[in-house]
Homo-oligomer: A and B are copies of this chain.
């Protein structure tokens, strides 16, 4: 199904409900779908599980969702930063569950969900605290940990450009988690700088095929 084209970010995220698992793209500010996150803040959904590389910075975006106690669990690799004060406070208060995952395992678990893989053995994290309680196995003399897919109901993604069929291209290191989160969520919601006609994107250069995309919204050119 060709994606719905929402008129506003608010309309794009309107289906996100209490208790949903929401993947949010971005590494630092690059690729962070800030307008969609702001709309999620406005829409009022709570008790969210958020999958993101980080856990919010300063007083914006995901950090505000956490400040408002709308997030009950964060699955991420790097929550603690110099300006992650809202995460730090909620976590220390015991009001926010944290599942800490090495970044590559986070990425591979998201990919596995999108790719229909039931689990995989990874050497990353073997012998560490983060493998405690997980199944391990020696394969050809090396230790591996069994990791499981991370599925989500929604993904919020920022791309550079989409065609009306949902095919996406990204920009530089802002690509990061977008392509894999788009495959792992039941509904992928994407903010782009512009939406173009089918045939405007070279089929060789499409990074995310439109099959993975459910909703598009144009946010104007946020890169310049």
Residues of A within 8 A of B (CB): 108, 112, 115-123, 137, 139-140, 142, 144, 169-172, 202-205
Contact = CB atoms under 8 A, between A and B. Distances in A.
B122 A116 contact: yes
B120 A120 contact: yes
Contact of A119 (B108, B112, B139, B169): B139
Contacts of A112: 120
A111 to B, nearest CB: 9
When all copies of this chain in the complex are counted, the total is 2
Contacts of A137: 118-119
Contacts of A205: 202, 204-205
A112, A120, A123, A140 pick with most chain B CB within 10 angstroms: A120
Among A121, A144, A170, A205, the most chain B Cβ lie within 10 Å of the Cβ of A121
A116 B122 CA distance: 7
B118 A119 contact: no
Given A169-B204, A204-B205, A205-B204, A144 B118 contact: yes
Contacts of A119: 120-121, 137, 139, 144
Nearest to A116: B123
A86 to B, nearest CB: 34
Contact of A123 (B118, B121, B123, B139): B118
A139 B122 contact: no
